[in-house]
Amino acid sequence: MNVQFLNPFLLAASEVLKKEIGAEPTRGELTLQKSALTTDDVTVLIHLVGQVYGVVMYGMPIETSLNFVSRILGQEFKEFDSLAQSGVAELGNVISGAATVKFSQAGYQSNISPPMVIIGKNVQVSTLDFPRIVVPLQTAYGDLMVHLALKEAAPGSNAAPEEFVKLAVSRA
């Protein structure tokens, strides 16, 4: 994965988290992973298509997701109900959308899919032979793990469906 695709997501995540939850995230150590992702309690998965394509996943403990949604919606959440799920999905959507705006400003056109929320720890999501850069973001309200598996489409083309990042999902 081209590391230049990392910064738009980190900048977008930082800006969105500051605005939406009122906390400045601190970036942890980056890692490169080639194995399947074993999900956290909550994982938001979004596909990118276009000149930059692939998948981004945002993983967090249930407590973090409840803290984030409570801050965003201005009411306390004690259960990860459908409204809380929608709020966490929208947080991933807003971060990814802001990142694609930054890609566009750099000359890369991409679009995002609607978010998918995976609930449950230890579900394995494999990007198969597509390595992921993993960046932990720590906030006062909990930690968010950002997983990026992105590629650049061939010059002058957008990613065709057969070039999408293939996923395999299984129970660990």
* Domain assignment of residue 37, yes or no: yes
Question: Does 163 fall in a domain?
Answer: no
Rounded-to-integer distance, Cα 161 and Cα 158, Å: 9
pTM: 0.88
Is residue 99 domain-resident? yes
Task: Tell me the CATH number at 131.
Answer: 3.40.1550.10
What type of residue is 13? A
Question: Distance between CA atoms of 75 and 111, rounded to whole angstroms?
Answer: 31
Asked if the structure places residue 161 within a domain, the reply is: no
The pLDDT-based confidence of 40 (bands split at 50, 70, 90) is confident
Q: Is 82 exposed, middle or buried (0-12, 13-18, 19+ CB in 10 A)?
A: exposed
Contact 53, 151 (CB under 8 A): yes
Model confidence over 108-140: pLDDT tens digits?
889 999 999 999 888 888 777 778 899 999 999
> Model confidence over 51-89: pLDDT tens digits?
888 999 999 999 999 999 999 999 999 999 999 999 999
Query: 61: which DSSP letter?
Result: -
Residue 55: name the closest of 154, 163, 172 by CA. Answer: 163
Give the residue among 126, 124, 103, 121 at the shortest CA–CA distance from 55.
126
Q: Which helix (H) or strand (E) holds 63?
A: helix 62-73
Total domain count, the chain: 1
Q: How far is CA 128 from the centre of its chain?
A: 17
Domain, as residue range, for 142: 3-156
Sign of the C-alpha dihedral computed for residues 43, 96, 64 and 77 taken in this order: negative
Is 40 part of a structural domain of the chain? yes
Give the number of C-alpha atoms closer than 13 A to the C-alpha of residue 170, restricted to the C-beta side: 6
Question: CB–CB of 34/134 below 8 Å?
Answer: no
What's the whole-number average pLDDT of the chain?
A: 87
- Answer whether residue 171 is part of any domain: no
Q: Is residue 164 part of a domain?
A: no
- Identify whether 80 is part of a domain: yes
